[in-house]
Structure 1
């Protein structure tokens, strides 16, 4: 399956929007909004979805959400403590702990004092990011699916489609990639593809013959995927009524856009649960660590959950290369493009593309939401 990008709701959804339209308080800006740390029960429907998609008991799902909230806070503190020696971090769902990699010379005592487990590695995050940036500048053959910094491997991982590693153009690309720094080559069975087919996350919208999904409400509109439409293009809602216009869009290189709304449409801090779970309130945009659970809402396959697999991955779509995406084990299908990725009550990003489907499984990438907010000077609509 080639790489593709991802793009329904009923009157009941709009009625729900009206319910939440008056519930907003302080907005979240492009900067990370800290996750709430106060002890509070997780939404029952969210726990149920995690039970279904991650094979957890209710107790395990609730414990994991609590551990992930703690890990999000620990990660920020540990990164500050490690300074230039910081080499990345990842969350282990089994132990419920965050591991922080550091290079020699780090004040490991200060890092451990934050609550993190420490691993000594050779290459710093700065070195690995520089190596990846060099690889980003290389022309990539289609058989090279993606590449990203893997902190646990302490290397840049390059994913090559099965059966193509011996191709001359792939071998040449890998040789040039290795000259930039530590590279680990892994096989992937599929090449990624984009998933294109009231402003509530996961609800459908239409532009031309394309159906995409709303990502997150911002004040004045909503954000979604860039491949869904060009600046100036008109947008229509689930009921065919005019919603607004694409004010900004970038694809490839990036995969994000924002749409201004009017004509009786309004924004609300809600992501659709599609009856699988209750509709979810959005309370901020603190970035979840690698290994954390994450769920996606989209207009084709509705609500599915999985795990964050990698950050800052470069994905080589057939339409062009997109940088700084986050990879997940969540499935998606055409029409889900632009839809919401959320961890707990924290907005994470908008669906870009993937491989596979929600019958047999697959992987999906999203464009982090904080980059979109920062790029366009937008403010996330939060509860």
Structure 2
């Protein structure tokens, strides 16, 4: 009898994204009948935030100081806030300067704009309006200049830089103000372009290579399985680029043959994926508190300030909040761009473990500082770019077929990764994306006002 193992997100696995794009364009989707009469699902219902799992609630209670009722309300509020932020992002256009959540038990959505006349429209959506000088596009342009300068600049004394939405600036974390000033100057920026935070810490990769469901690379180094994925008829899991190179062979936690790295990128990005043999079965599960499974239903990106939980083999299941997206980290082993910074603790061996917001996949552990005794900072590689760049489909409780991402207006299709602001055609109507996600089969625009609005 064949013994089949489940490819789960148990404990920690480094997942990532790379450059294998599916090139086949799917046929146009036939017009879908009108949705049934009655109210459409709310954002919380679409994202499963109204049905939180016990492991998520228990960890939020422990790590965020919430009661189960407060944790449940927070998950629902964060799901609804993501939709409202998406609508405002689309309506504000180039004036949009970011959206984030603040507060612990009663989360408040904050949306920034560069035009005072936008304030009434923002408050009408139940958000706090903030008028700032720089748009989100302006801030990302500054970060891109720093990213470009880091190619030729020694960043050992400037290990971190990121878009700080509440401060409306790009912040450079450095070991001295002189080091930060030199880095900013090397990027062709003036002293006012970026804020400086002096710190003695430097992020490190969290990899003495143990993980959720541990796996071994070429019989020696050890990492962990993250989110299960499929590509066509092949199944496997995402992991970190610093775990192994393309062609490296893996064995499972029980030392049986498992699979092969199909692609790997590090530094620049920290991503790879492993295709497994037929002895292993991909599931939608991530290992939560007490070994209980959290079933993943999608990959809708959470806002800065939202609660997020992580699974790892060294320290188990822990929660915290998202601090910033769009973070560049200079590890001793190389620089990685586009990471998300969190307050979740982690330790070596937790590398590659899955980050989830409710039941929505967010990313996989890359590295960080500190530990789970004194606290720390952990960075994760966002999962949606991973899925898009490798042409992968996230294994979910109700997954759709894989399809490539296009940049022009396109027909909506399950399996594609859609960025916030993308425009699609579905059933003869144009829709604009509210929140970055990989489309699931049941998430057609006509049925998910949490994710789409008519363009």
Instruction: Give TM-score scaled by structure 2 length.
Output: 0.72
Shift of the 342–184 alpha-carbon distance from structure 1 to 2, 3 Å rule, reads: same
Report what 1:327 is aligned to: 341
Distance of aligned partners of 1:319 and 1:37 in 2 relative to their CA distance in 1, 3 Å threshold: closer
Distance 2:49 2:207 in 1: 39
Contact 1:312 1:326 (C-alpha < 8 Å) held by counterparts: yes
* 1:381 match: 395
Deviation at 1:64, TM superposition (A): 1.1
Correspondence 1:231 to 2:246:
yes
Distance 1:236 1:85, change over 3 A: same
Give the equivalent residue in structure 2 for 1:49: 59
Give deviations 1:247-305, integer Å, cap 9, x for gaps. Answer: 111100001111111141010000012516x2100000000111111011112222111
Equivalent residues of 1:86, 1:101 under 8 A apart: yes
Matched, 1:341 2:349: no
Q: Secondary structure at the match of 2:139?
A: helix
Conserved in 2, the CA contact under 8 Å of 1:85 and 1:105? Answer: no
1:75 is matched with which residue: 69, 72, 85? 85
Q: Does 1:366 align with 2:366?
A: no
Report whether the alignment pairs 1:244 with 2:256: no
Q: Is the 8 A contact 1:135 1:180 kept in 2?
A: no
In structure 2, how many angstroms separate the alpha carbons of the residues matched to 1:282 and 1:270?
A: 6
Structure 1 unmatched ranges of 5 or more: 1-12, 18-29
Quote the Cα distance in structure 2 between the aligned partners of 1:233 and 1:294: 32
* Alignment correspondent of 1:25: none
CA distance 1:126–1:335, shift in 2 (3 Å): same
Compute the displacement of 1:160 (Å).
1.4
Q: Is the 8 A contact 1:331 1:358 kept in 2?
A: yes
Does the CA contact (< 8 Å) of 2:6 and 2:281 recur in 1? no
Q: TM-score, normalised by structure 1?
A: 0.85
Change in Cα spacing, 1:37 to 1:357, as seen in structure 2 (3 Å) is closer
1: CA distance between counterparts of 2:354 and 2:49? 25
1:37 Cα offset (Å) = 5.4
**Contact kept in structure 2, 1:253 and 1:322, CA below 8 Å:** yes
Q: 1:165 aligns with which of 177, 181, 184?
A: 177
Distance 1:89 1:321, change over 3 A: same
Residue 41 of structure 1, CA deviation: 3.8
Q: Distance in 1 between matches of 2:191 and 2:263?
A: 34
Q: Give the superposition deviation at 1:165.
A: 3.0
The answer for unaligned runs of 5 or more in structure 2 is 9-21, 23-42, 398-455
Aligned-residue offset at 1:188? 2.7
Task: Provide the residue aligned with 1:119 in structure 2.
Answer: 130
1:215 aligns with 2:226: yes
Q: Distance in 2 between matches of 1:37 and 1:273?
A: 18
Pairing of 1:178-193 with structure 2 (within 5 A): 178-179=189-190, 182-193=193-204
Distance 1:131 1:270 in 2: 39
Cα shift at 1:58: 2.0
- Residue 298 in 1 paired to residue 312 in 2? yes
**Which of 119, 135, 150 in structure 2 is aligned with 1:108?**
119
Is the Cα contact below 8 Å between 2:252 and 2:258 reproduced in 1? Answer: yes
RMSD of Structure 2 on Structure 1 (CA): 2.2
- 1:130 aligned to 2:144? no
The 3-state SS of whatever aligns with 1:338 is coil
1:206–1:238: 8 Å Cα contact kept in structure 2? Answer: yes
Tell me the equivalent position of 1:9. none
